Amino acid sequence: MKNNKTLQNLHGNLHENLQIHVKEHYQKHPYPQYPIFSSIQPHHSFALNVRSIWSHFNNLKLKSEENINILLAGCGSFSPYPTSVANSKANIWALDLSKKNLDRARLHCMLHRKFNIKYIEGDLLEFDNFPLFFHFIDCYGVIHHIKEDKKALKNICNLLSEGGIARIMVYSTGARKKIESARRAFRVLKIDNLKNVKKIITKTKDKSKSKSKAQTKDSQFLALLKNNFEANFDSGIADMFLHPYVKTYSIDQLNDLLKECDLTPLKFIHHQALADTSKEIDRLRILEKNDNLFNNFILYVGRTSDQKKRMAAKTAEAEAEAAAYITLNPVIKKYLNLWSPFLTDLSNKFGKSMQLNYQHKSLLRYFRKNRRMAEVYRKFSKEKINQISSFLDALLLIKQ
């Protein structure tokens, strides 16, 4: 009994020390390192609009934005701002270990006049006694930096309201293979600070200039830097190579972990993800088997216990589809008339990449008023119906 208590204390101390190191890391390197005056086009935040996300997955309408509760679990230095743009009247809680991340996020929001956010310096592992539940929890790029990942996900599950949805991003083993190899090399060489990492990068680039690509042994490392946006700023480089704790997942490891935490995948939204969740899991397994998986996992999850109600709502919607109606995502509706007549790039939004031309925007404008499904089927050709379906899938339009 005494030995078990000693092991528990040791485990607790190791976790506490690791979290201290993670906190210190982000105190040194607030992440992401965007310029303080950087801004987004408001309509580009549409995929973060919780009323639309809720309607997409629950086939129900959230009537009042003022009563929507959102948790940014590991908000970093930037995400409160676009989340507030997309949900201007919702109640947003921004949680992060690092005070520097929170201070920068707060300043960024103040400069853009976004004031519906409460900032909390704290640990997701200890955030299990909050007095309310959340309609949406965004935990993007966080779980893989927490050793007790199961406890973190269970906390997220317990904090979700009935029908609540969480977005998570975790590192896949395939996508991180080369980065993890470089991290191991830096540890062996005892390179543990940003200055020395940047020296290695500079030397590698200089060496490559005097040799052909075929002859340069470091070409793979340079390709890794070139293809990763994090390599463009200091905190990104530090996050890639110097973070005190990183875990990667196979798709089966992730799926099993979610099941243990009473969570189920609702939709994968990483690049080229299939709309059908089980088919996407099968596709990812094949890519992993062939050593051909190069993306991390981005997905929406919900409580497994809510699935019956979701399926019942979906069945009821299918039975009454003619009576249902389609409307614009509230963010798109607000800014649609401000869009330029030129192509509008909405790549990497809700897992879709698209260029919106004048005809697309004209079709979207038709849905500024709520349109009955029966009316839509009567009015448009099969080609236009397919286009409308793709807009629904991308969350530009929502069905209610």
CA distance 347 to 44: 10
> What kind of fold does domain 6-173+246-311 have according to CATH?
Rossmann fold (3.40.50)
> DSSP state, 189?
T
When mean pLDDT is compared across 68-77, 213-222, 254-263, 276-285, the lowest value belongs to 213-222
Tens-place pLDDT, residues 225-284: 887 888 889 999 999 999 999 999 999 999 999 999 999 999 999 989 999 999 999 999
In this prediction, residue 351 carries a pLDDT of 55
DSSP-derived 3-state class of residue 383: helix
In the chain, where the domains are located? 6-173+246-311, 193-241, 320-399
Q: How would residue 198 be classed by pLDDT, with cut points 50, 70 and 90?
A: very high
Using pLDDT thresholds of 50, 70 and 90, give the confidence band for residue 60.
confident
For 270-313, give the DSSP string.
Answer: STT--SSHHHHHHHHHHHHHTT---S-EEEEEEEGGGHHHHHHH
CA distance 161 to 299: 18
The reported pLDDT for the residue numbered 229 is 83
**Cα R_g (the chain), whole angstroms:** 23
pLDDT at 313: 72
DSSP assignments along 201-242, one per residue = HHHHHHHHHTS-TTT-TTHHHHHHHHT-GGGGSHHHHHHHHT
Summarize the confidence of residues 331-339 as an average pLDDT: 76
- Tens digits of per-residue pLDDT, 13-29? 555 788 899 999 999 99
The side-by-side arrangement of strands in the sheet containing 117-121 is 117-121, 91-96, 69-73, 134-140, 160-170, 297-303, 263-268
Q: Is the pLDDT of residue 91 over 90?
A: yes
- Rounded distance, CA 327 to CA 344, Å? 20
Question: 388 near 397, Cβ under 8 Å?
Answer: yes
**Which residue did the predictor score with more confidence, 43 or 134?**
134
pLDDT at 218 over 50: yes
Residue 338, CA distances (Å) to 43, 322, 353 in order? 9, 32, 21
State phi, psi for 128 to the nearest 5 degrees.
-120, 10
Helix 173-188 and helix 219-226: axis angle, to 10°?
120
Each residue's pLDDT tens digit, 126-175 = 987 788 899 999 999 999 999 999 999 999 999 999 999 999 999 999 99
Which pLDDT score is estimated for 10? Answer: 44
Closest CA to 168 of 55, 77, 258: 258
Residue 15's pLDDT is what? 58
Scanning 59-213, the segments in alpha helix (DSSP H) are 80-86, 99-111, 149-159, 173-188, 194-209
**0.75 exceeded by the pTM?**
yes
C-alpha torsion 133→397→258→118, nearest 10: -30
Question: Sorting pLDDT into bands at 50, 70 and 90, what band is 399?
Answer: confident
Looking at every residue in the chain, the average pLDDT score rounds to: 87
> Band of the pLDDT at 319, cuts 50, 70, 90?
low
Whether 329 contacts 49, CB under 8 Å: yes
pLDDT of 320: 59
How would you classify residue 246: left for phi > 0, otherwise alpha for psi between -120 and 50, otherwise beta? beta
Alpha carbon distance 294, 275 (integer Å): 19
DSSP classification of residue 112:
T
Higher pLDDT among residues 344 and 201, named by residue = 201
